[in-house]
């Protein structure tokens, strides 16, 4: 069987866009393949970069953290997204109701009610189920000694786990995979019309599916997340039906995208740095630290954004009120002002205060679950002493959610 080593994977491409002509709404395919050299030039030459449409793109650690945590910045995407999708589009309704795109008072209310479901199902109690899911997926995928790390494993793991938590049958994983890919693609800068059309269709499909599931749980409640969500109430507050459906869908979509990208990019980093892979095999106690370095080194979610509610000064640049500000978690996590040797992959790095899961009040609610899934997956994968890439991986050409479409491996 043909296998590749780290040399066969090739070196990281060092192409960088010229900041003088860089525009987040018109990205070169080489940026999508490997954006970090461009991030470095932007941090050096245009750290608070103005795009052609008047929006800004921020790439430095301190400023990214400030935007994400700033009270003068709004997470509400109704205004910019209505211009992209139209205010009557299903995909607009979805993004307008998920907790990550809400401001107070709706954000703490919705987040608190959804978090109630996670608190009720203590994460520690799910570790054996995550381990079982990992073992079963690897057993099924590696029957002939090879698998697609993404399609056969990394993509299915979080779908299996969050599906079990919500009470979704395992046989329905594939439809959620398709729906989730369509919804997350709609958040890329300047999405094409066919992407928007697919996202609208996906929203209509999952609303119908989850609506039926919610009705069943109202009639026949169980101990799953959907049963808890439909009955969640705090201080007399409850989720509306629209909030319930879209945030349940968000848990499915966001969870599998983040964890899949984390496992795929994390293993790619280990394959390209065999000294770190060998160290991890010698010292499995470094798995938690390795996961954090994977999150920093090649963040699953590279780009987010906020709307300035008033004039805000970032470095020596004034961002006018009602201006959209794009921030790059991925660029911030490679900023030499915050990290020693930021382009070096080091699984012993400590401390590691990366921004991969965001920062401030919108810190990712599912971060603990994503970390648990990645730790268990990594523990199992590195036990295969001869695990190697079997063919060139194929990267998904996206700027916001960075990961692979496929990554053939063999043992």
Q: What pLDDT digit, counting tens, does each position of 332-356 carry?
A: 999 999 999 999 999 999 999 999 9
Residues with Cβ within 8 Å of 64's Cβ and at least 6 positions away in sequence, in order, are 58, 327, 328, 329, 331, 332, 355, 359
Contact 142, 411 (CB under 8 A): yes
* 99, burial (CB in 10 Å: exposed 0-12, middle 13-18, buried 19+): buried
Mean pLDDT per segment of 10 residues, for the chain of length 411 residues?
72 93 96 97 98 97 96 89 92 93 91 76 80 96 94 92 83 81 88 94 93 92 86 81 90 80 97 97 97 98 95 96 96 97 97 95 88 96 94 94 96 90
Burial of 183 (0-12, 13-18, 19+ CB in 10 A): buried
Q: How far apart are CA 177 and CA 205, in angstroms?
A: 12
Tokens 């990290």: give the residue: 339
Count of helix runs (H) and strand runs (E) in the chain: 16, 12
Residue 79: its pLDDT value, please?
Answer: 85
Residue written as tokens 């698998």?
147
pLDDT on residue 121: 62
Quick check: bond before 365 cis, omega within 30?
A: no
What pLDDT does residue 2 have? 62
For residues 332 and 61, the answer to whether their CB atoms sit within 8 Å is yes
Over residues 379-402, the pLDDT tens digits come to: 999 999 899 999 999 999 999 999
* pTM greater than 0.85: yes
Residue 71, SS3 per DSSP: coil
With beta carbons less than 8 A apart as the criterion, state whether 49 and 56 touch.
Answer: yes
- pLDDT attached to residue 13: 87
Q: What is the pLDDT of residue 122?
A: 64
337 and 392 in contact (C-beta within 8 Å)? no
Report the run of H or E that residue 265 belongs to, with start and end: helix 241-272
Domains and CATH numbers, the chain: 29-410 (1.10.630.10)
Cβ–Cβ under 8 Å, residues 401 and 302: yes
What b/e readout covers 37-51, taking b as 16+ CB neighbours within 10 angstroms? Answer: bbbbbbbeebbbbeb
- From CA 378, how far away is CA 265, in angstroms rounded? 12
Q: Are 48 and 314 in contact (CB under 8 A)?
A: yes
Nearest residue to 358 (alpha-carbon basis) of 311, 302, 408: 302
């Amino acid at each position: 069987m043909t296998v590749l080593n780290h040399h066969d994977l090739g070196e990281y491409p060092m192409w960088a866009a010229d900041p003088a002509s860089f525009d987040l709404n018109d990205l070169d395919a080489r940026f999508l393949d490997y954006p970090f050299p461009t991030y470095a030039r932007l941090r050096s030459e245009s750290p608070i970069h103005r795009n052609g449409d008047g929006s800004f793109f921020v790439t430095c650690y301190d400023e990214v953290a400030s935007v994400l945590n700033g009270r003068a910045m709004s997470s509400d995407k109704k205004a910019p997204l209505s211009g992209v999708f139209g205010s009557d589009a299903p995909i607009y309704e979805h993004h307008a109701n998920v907790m990550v795109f809400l401001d107070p008072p709706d954000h703490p209310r919705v987040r608190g009610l959804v978090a109630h479901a996670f608190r009720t199902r203590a994460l520690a109690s799910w570790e054996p189920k995550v381990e079982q899911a990992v073992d079963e997926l690897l057993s099924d995928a590696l029957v002939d000694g090879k698998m697609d790390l993404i399609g056969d494993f990394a993509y299915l793991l979080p779908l299996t786990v969050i599906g079990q938590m919500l009470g979704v049958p395992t046989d329905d994983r594939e439809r959620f995979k398709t729906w989730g890919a369509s919804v997350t693609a709609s958040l890329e800068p300047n999405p094409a019309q066919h992407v928007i059309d697919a996202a609208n269709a996906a929203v209509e499909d999952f609303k119908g599916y989850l609506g039926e599931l919610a009705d069943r749980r109202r009639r026949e409640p169980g101990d799953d997340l959907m049963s808890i969500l439909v009955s969640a109430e705090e201080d007399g507050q409850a989720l509306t039906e629209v909030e319930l459906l879209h945030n349940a869908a968000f848990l499915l979509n966001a969870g599998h995208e983040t964890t899949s990208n984390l496992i795929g990019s994390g293993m790619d980093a280990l394959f390209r740095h065999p000294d770190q892979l060998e160290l991890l095999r010698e010292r499995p106690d470094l798995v938690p630290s390795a996961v954090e370095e994977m999150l920093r080194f090649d963040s699953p979610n590279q780009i987010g954004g906020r709307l300035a509610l008033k004039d805000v000064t970032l470095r020596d640049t004034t961002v006018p009120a009602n201006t959209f500000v794009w921030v790059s978690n991925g660029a911030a996590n490679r900023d030499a002002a915050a990290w020693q040797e930021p382009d070096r992959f080091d699984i012993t790095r400590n401390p590691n205060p990366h921004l991969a899961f965001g920062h401030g009040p919108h810190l990712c609610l599912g971060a603990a679950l994503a970390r648990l899934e990645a730790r268990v997956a990594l523990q199992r994968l590195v036990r295969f002493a001869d695990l190697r890439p079997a063919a060139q991986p194929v990267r998904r050409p996206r700027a916001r959610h960075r990961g692979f479409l496929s990554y053939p491996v063999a043992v």
